[in-house]
Amino acid sequence: MLATVPAVHCDPDILGGTPVFVGTRVPFRNLIDYLERNHSLDEFLDSFPSVSREQAVAALEAAHEAVSGPPRLPASASSSPGTSTSNTSRISPTAGAG
C-alpha cells in the first residue's frame, strides 16, 4: 500500500505552528474561509497558486473524516448506562519540511 503524504501540517517555524498546506505558507483556514464565503475551490486555487487541487481536496477529505468519526450505532445498540460511547478524532500536527 502506498503511503500518503499529508496535505496539511504544523511546524512551529512556519506561522507559529498554524496548520498550513505542505510546501507553502498558506493556512488551511484560508480554504475554509473561502468556502464559508461561498467562493469556489477554483477561486481559492486561483488566489493561492502554491496550493495544488490535490492538496486542497485531500485536506478537506481529512478534515471531513476527523469531524465525522466512525458511524454511530443505532440507539437500541448503544452501550449500557454509565459508559461512554464518545469517540474523538483529531488531525495530529506533524513536523516536516515547509
Q: For the stretch 3-23, what's the b/e string if a residue is b when 16 or more beta carbons lie within 10 angstroms of its beta carbon?
A: eeebbbbbbeebeeeebbbbb
Residue located via cell numbers 486542497: 56
Amino acid 96: pLDDT: 44
Residue located via cell numbers 450505532: 73
- E-strand ranges in 24-72 read none
Write the Ramachandran bin of 44: left for phi over 0, alpha for psi from -120 to 50, otherwise beta: alpha
Q: Which residues contact 15 (CB under 8 A, 6 or more apart)?
A: 25, 27
Give pLDDT tens digits for 32-50: 999 999 999 999 999 999 9
In tens digits, what is the pLDDT along the chain, a chain of 98 residues?
445 778 999 999 999 999 999 999 999 999 999 999 999 999 999 999 999 999 999 999 999 998 987 767 777 655 555 544 444 334 444 444 44
